[in-house]
Structure 1
């Protein structure tokens, strides 16, 4: 092993706004003091209950990925395990997500874009 995963860093137009979106989806603590980095207007973090840390980095002239366009591919994506897809869909849409692929209504997952355009999936647990 060379190292351990410290956090997943996500480029976006507004770091705090996207961190708040994912806090609403995943829970956790926003901008917990951590000696590994300094918080700023362009850097926000979310320490999730599972131990994973997501970091959000504000980027000037941000260009979001486009699903499923290989010319503007996903920069990352998260799979979020949920017990009820329909209920979870209503919740993420209220938070500002956009439905990208409903899985034809028969698959156990659906693809969304977060408010900054990053794809993520809700997966029936």
Structure 2
């Protein structure tokens, strides 16, 4: 029997509402708790909930460095990697590791540096 149930994954960032808007465009869903003035925004998506927490002095993870580590990353399933890549780059993502087109996944960073992978579904 489980001790707990996962409620939300929270990401530190400098501007919660801006990062929530990026992930809303990427994943769909709606803001269910928008307290950006208090440093906290929650996005409910078809796959679960993400929260964005203001972190003064935020420093993005360095990928693939192990010196500071990536802390966490999200794997996101897509139907068409090439189309999804164009769309996430247009939203403000940065390509981190996309050169090997034979793989079934590619690595990007969101606008504040959190790494995430687009994975062929």
TM-score normalised by the chain length of structure 1: 0.90
Correspondent of 2:104 among 102, 108, 115: 108
Separation in structure 2 between the aligned mates of residue 82 and residue 103 of structure 1, nearest angstrom: 18
After the TM superposition, which residues 1-125 of structure 1 pair with which residues of structure 2 at under 5 Å, given as runs? 1-30=2-31, 32-33=32-33, 39-41=35-37, 42-50=39-47, 52-102=48-98, 104-125=100-121
TM-score normalised by the chain length of structure 2: 0.93
Q: CA contact under 8 A between 1:65 and 1:73: conserved in structure 2?
A: yes
Q: CA deviation at 1:25?
A: 0.5
Q: CA contact under 8 A between 1:101 and 1:112: conserved in structure 2?
A: yes
RMSD of aligned residue pairs (Cα, Å): 1.2
Gaps of 5+ in 1: none
